[in-house]
Amino acid sequence: MTTVLNVQQLSKTYGSIRAVDSLSFEVKKGSVFGILGPNGSGKTTTLGMLCSAIHPISGNFEWFGKTPTAETRKNIGILLEKPNFYDYLSAINNLKIVADIRSLSYDLIEPALKMVSLWERRNSKFKTYSLGMKQRLAIASAVMGDPDVLILDEPTNGLDPTGIAEVRDMIRSLAGQGKTIILASHLLDEVQKVCTDLLVMKRGKRIFIGNMDDLSHPEAQLELMSNDNNKMIDLLISYPNVGELKASGNIVVAKLMNDATAEDVNSYLHQNGILLNHLVLRKANLESQVLDLLKDN
């Protein structure tokens, strides 16, 4: 797979704050690359640098294997932070300006506006739009002209549930067409539903990067309770297929290791004279894993 974007040791400081701290990652062609992090974790600053709007203090990045120029950006549909349009111009005039900048035909405006259901309101001034309509216009502007790469920063911001579902379907359908999508969000749910790869950021630092499967291939935990918890704990400590143990009340929580199953643990304990009265297999979901990631660092 070819690399669309390669980021090396990118850093940005604002005064004493390290907004982005030696960030490195790669985005492969055709992936839906999620950047997840709480507000203020440096997502937008990172994207701002990748769009050449913000100057990094150090580090570098390459788009399509080349140092980017203004021409590079014409091939990337970008929605950064919030919709930015001329207040006093209609949707159609705003998109004509975008088309002129990106050397696109005006014929592309109609399908773009229809896609986000704004065609009826094409002649209304931007300032009369609701937040959700503004966001949809920004999405229309980003996807107009069918760019190979899309950068979407909190694309469902301000949208109602229907709008959110539409945007997610759109992202999936674009991904299905082989587009590369970089999606920043503080909403785990959003990232989880559409992304193939994930970068988790906290205070400007990368704290996780990997395939979505790595994360959603969850760690299994067992909840156990028995007629003799103390003996059970001793047995579990010496059992190689069980890792870390935690007690919560009368329940012992054990991390399963080496692809062991609940049956394995049950039969081991049974052979050693322990009778379980509670056995539950719990798989940590992505949310708790990411929360763990964010907590740990």
Partner 1 sequence: MDRILKIELRKIIHNRVFWFTAGGYIITLLLILFGMRHQIIRINEHLSEGNTGFIPMLPTEIYSFPHVWHNLTYIASYLMIFLSIVMVILVTNEFTYNTMRQNLINGLSRFQLVLSKFIDAVMLSIMATLFIFIFGLISGFATSSSIEFSDIFSKIAYIGAYFLMILGFLTFVMMLAFLIKKPALVLGALLLYNFIIEPILSRWLDESIGNFLPLKSLGMLIEIPDIALFSFFGLKPMFHGISPLYVGISLFYLGAFLGISYLIIKRRDL
Q: Return residues touching partner 1 (CB under 8 A).
A: 48, 51-55, 69-71, 73-74, 78, 80, 82, 84-89, 93, 96-98, 100-103, 141
SS3 211: strand
Assess contact for 140 and 95: CB atoms under 8 A.
Answer: yes
- Residue type, position 87, single letter: D
Q: Which is nearer to partner 1, 3 or 52 (CB)?
A: 52
How far apart are alpha carbons 150 and 35 in whole angstroms?
13
Residue 68 beta carbon to partner 1: minimum distance, rounded to whole angstroms: 11
Q: Which is nearer to partner 1, 100 or 169 (CB)?
A: 100
Q: Which is nearer to partner 1, 80 or 108 (CB)?
A: 80
Residue 57 beta carbon to partner 1: minimum distance, rounded to whole angstroms: 11
Distance of CA 166 to the CA centre of its chain: 17
- Residue type, position 237, single letter: I
154: tokens are 């909190």
Assess contact for 42 and 34: CB atoms under 8 A.
Answer: no
Residue 93 beta carbon to partner 1: minimum distance, rounded to whole angstroms: 6
Assess contact for 223 and 279: CB atoms under 8 A.
Answer: yes
Q: Which is nearer to partner 1, 98 or 222 (CB)?
A: 98
Residue 222 beta carbon to partner 1: minimum distance, rounded to whole angstroms: 50
Residue 137 beta carbon to partner 1: minimum distance, rounded to whole angstroms: 12
Q: Which is nearer to partner 1, 95 or 294 (CB)?
A: 95
Assess contact for 12 and 54: CB atoms under 8 A.
Answer: yes
